[in-house]
A and B are shown apart, each in its own frame.
Chain A
């Protein structure tokens, strides 16, 4: 009898095992939902799949009576726009400061403690300040996401740049490289795939900050809608919206992983 750590599922079995928890969760939900609806057909807590499809269909494919737009898609576009701007700014800030702090000893000495302190500020505690200073518009929400994940990206990237073998930097100098050339040819190309990995790790937090900002001040967006319909206990909208957010987040993670493998094939081999 081989040890447990040496027993591996075959390929088909592994796929089956991966699907199993999803199936189980679905079965548990459907059973509970049916059971509750049988006791009370007006129960709002665990709506049936049909009710959810109908609710989302109404939001996605019927124009809103007041605004004339399709609420579901407008929410999606608004949230994705905010998220991508926030993450984009954070990635840019993370790359610039991460590389600078990781590579230049003077900047490292000057900024490392400051960034370590900054990263300990809870971003949600800063949200009121952002609303006061930047107003209730898009800027404050994008700023919250950027402020929320940028310190992590800076620190992660700075560590990654510092971890580059010293031999590489010396080698580049013996090939005649100046600092700018070392950044362009040695550090940046190796920092980019690591930035993608760091962004993947930070995506969860980015969604958290997005939903929080939308819950407090917005007129559209996935997070706004969830908190709005909460007032009517509209679980038939909330649950599909949560699932949709999860799908979007997972798709982004997957796309980033694919982009990294395509753009930086060498990073997979090492």
Chain B
């Protein structure tokens, strides 16, 4: 069985069907990017993996076990905004995850132990290019720096699955390219599994080993909520591909873009 296995997953809010008939097998170490029109349920899908939403029907198995019904340290997350704690400095934001694992009640370590964790946090900050900003508060960081911090914070507790919900949606194009290099490099080196929701199809193809397109296949104009979205395209990309395959992928990319009608 695959590392992450989803069988006949449905998500409904009352009468409204958001997701339907989703079947998916993902191997450990994949980088799945999720694209689709606004409001097609791709973020809801991510929140199911996160444990924030419970699927109405179907089952999700992670490593052979049902997915816990609440968020936990095995699944890290970076949101578009509000991913870091405003009252902690950059190094404290990264260290807090390490402290939580060691201080059962207060979630805070003191003295030498705390200094050691802060040093470890600073190594993570170096890793994402924030070494010089260790003592600054998030409000004193730019949007791109805040997302770097959020990534360092998530990775410091070594999640097996990293969930990214449009993490670069609010960033300038130049900054976004830097973030792609950062995330791609970290993913290759650390070998975790990544799910990333994005609006940007270029981004999806640039980063993913697999692109999942979410869309509604059935639509009842009288009842827009009657049918949900499912995975309409599942495109595996070989990161080490030949020029001919690259052209094939690019053609697929153009087709997908045409199919989405510029919604992304």
Task: List residues of chain A with CB under 8 Å of any chain B CB.
Answer: 165, 167-168, 170-178, 180-182, 184-186, 189-190, 264-267, 269-270
Contact = CB atoms under 8 A, between A and B. Distances in A.
Interface string B50-85: 101000000000000000001111011101011111
Nearest to A186: B85
Contacts of A269: 137, 139-140
22 contacts: A165-B81, A170-B77, A171-B77, A172-B100, A173-B72, A174-B71, A174-B73, A174-B75, A174-B77, A175-B96, A175-B100, A176-B72, A177-B107, A180-B105, A180-B106, A181-B105, A185-B96, A185-B108, A190-B87, A264-B87, A269-B137, A269-B139
A265 B138 CA distance: 12
Nearest to B94: A175
B199 to A, nearest CB: 18
A170 B137 contact: no
Most chain B Cβ neighbours within 10 Å, of A174, A264, A265: A174
By DSSP majority rule, is chain B's interface helix, strand, loop, or mixed?
Answer: loop
A174 B100 contact: no
Contacts of B70: 173
B194 to A, nearest CB: 14
B71 A184 contact: no
Interface stretch (B125-133, B151-159, B236-244): B151-159
A182 B71 CA distance: 13
B85 A168 contact: yes
A167 B105 CA distance: 22
A173 B71 contact: yes
B79 A177 contact: no
A200 B83 CA distance: 30
Interface in B108-134: 108
A171 B88 CA distance: 14
B191 interface: no
A269 B85 CA distance: 13
B208 interface: no
Given A167-B83, A181-B105, A175 B157 contact: yes
Contact of B83 (A171, A178, A184, A266): A171
Contact of B72 (A174, A185, A265, A266): A174
Contacts of B76: 174
A4 B140 CA distance: 34
Contacts of B97: 175-176
B177 interface: no
Contact of B82 (A168, A173, A178, A184): A168
A267 B139 CA distance: 9
B86 interface: yes
B170 interface: no
B257 to A, nearest CB: 30
A188 to B, nearest CB: 10
B107 A165 contact: no
Contact of B87 (A171, A182, A266): A266
A90 to B, nearest CB: 24
A78 to B, nearest CB: 38
Contacts of A186: 85
A165 B83 CA distance: 9
B52 A170 contact: yes
Most chain B Cβ neighbours within 10 Å, of A184, A266, A270: A266
B101 interface: yes
B153 A175 contact: yes
Instruction: Kindly list the 8 A-B residue pairs having the minimum CB-CB distance in the complex, ordered from nearest.
Output: A181-B107, A176-B73, A175-B97, A173-B71, A269-B139, A165-B82, A167-B82, A185-B107
B87 A176 contact: no
A266 B139 contact: yes
Nearest to B78: A171
Contacts of B108: 184-185
Contact of A167 (B75, B81, B96, B153): B81
A170 B50 contact: yes
Nearest to A267: B87
B83 to A, nearest CB: 6
Nearest to B103: A181
Nearest to A265: B137
Contacts of A181: 100, 103-107
A177 B85 CA distance: 13
Nearest to B161: A174
A197 to B, nearest CB: 15
B79 A189 contact: no
A270 B139 contact: yes
A186 B82 CA distance: 13
A245 B251 CA distance: 78
A186 B70 CA distance: 18
A176 B101 contact: yes
A270 B96 CA distance: 20
B79 A167 contact: yes
